Structure 1
Amino acid sequence: MAKRFSEEVSIKEVLQSFVIQNKLETGIDKVKIKETWIQIMGNGVANYTEAIELKNKTLYVRLTSAVLREELSYGREKIVKMINEEMGKEIINKVVLL
């Protein structure tokens, strides 16, 4: 039977400790970064986004438009900064547009 503690703990704290103990942060970050990309870049860019993948602090984004890829390549540093700010921690340090 589970041991009960007399102190009250918020659900948020319980879930955070569960995520940390089970090493689920990277998986959650991979899902959340896709949502963040769509939110930050808007529907126009999201329509041309084919795939988003996070590997070793590098965000790989596959786009179907060569023109859009070229346009976004000029603002890579700004994209990294915006995504890290939205995520609340330094998740990525490089964006590769494919």
Structure 2
Amino acid sequence: MRRNKAECIGDIIRQYLRQEGLETPLNETRMAAAWSEVMGQAIARYTGDVFVKNQVLYVHLKSPALRANLMMGREALVRKLNEYVGAQVIQSIVFR
């Protein structure tokens, strides 16, 4: 038996997550996990806590020199991380 109104399971899951208000927390969790994947192991070694709050990614860094270097490319990092996750999750990054 073939259905005429078949839907992709991925679309159904996204619709359910959106209806239940779970899409944003899921994307925020994915964003925090994406930090080490996007930035690589060299930078991940100097990274402490990474979390998202109010569309701001907070990254605790153990190296002041690395913090200064990343501050210069903050706008590009925001774009790159949002593209990696596939949604507009963050608007800025705060390095601590």
Residue 45, structure 1, aligned to residue 43, structure 2 = yes
Distance 1:82 1:8 in 2: 34
Number of residue pairs aligned between Structure 1 and Structure 2: 94
TM-score (norm 1): 0.84
**What's the offset of the Cα at 1:51?**
0.7
Q: How does the TM-score come out when normalised to structure 2?
A: 0.85
Question: Residue in 1 aligned with 2:8?
Answer: 10
Identity of aligned residues (%): 32
User: Are 2:38 and 2:81, in contact at CA under 8 Å, matched by a contact in 1?
Assistant: yes
Gap runs ≥5 in structure 1: none
Report runs of 4+ in structure 1 exceeding 4 Å deviation. Answer: none
Correspondence for 2:61 among 54, 60, 63:
63
> Partner of 1:77 in structure 2?
75
Query: 1:6, CA displacement in angstroms?
Result: 7.9
Matched with 1:29 is 27
Q: Deviations over 1:24-80 (max 9, x none)?
A: 012101210022211110001111111111111111100111121111111111111
Please report the RMSD computed on the Cα atoms of aligned residues, expressed in angstroms. 1.7
Q: Provide the secondary structure at the position in 1 that maps to 2:6.
A: coil
* Bigger Cα displacement from structure 2, 29-38 vs 8-17: 8-17
Q: Is the 8 A contact 2:47 2:62 kept in 1?
A: yes
Structure 2 unpaired stretches of 5+: none
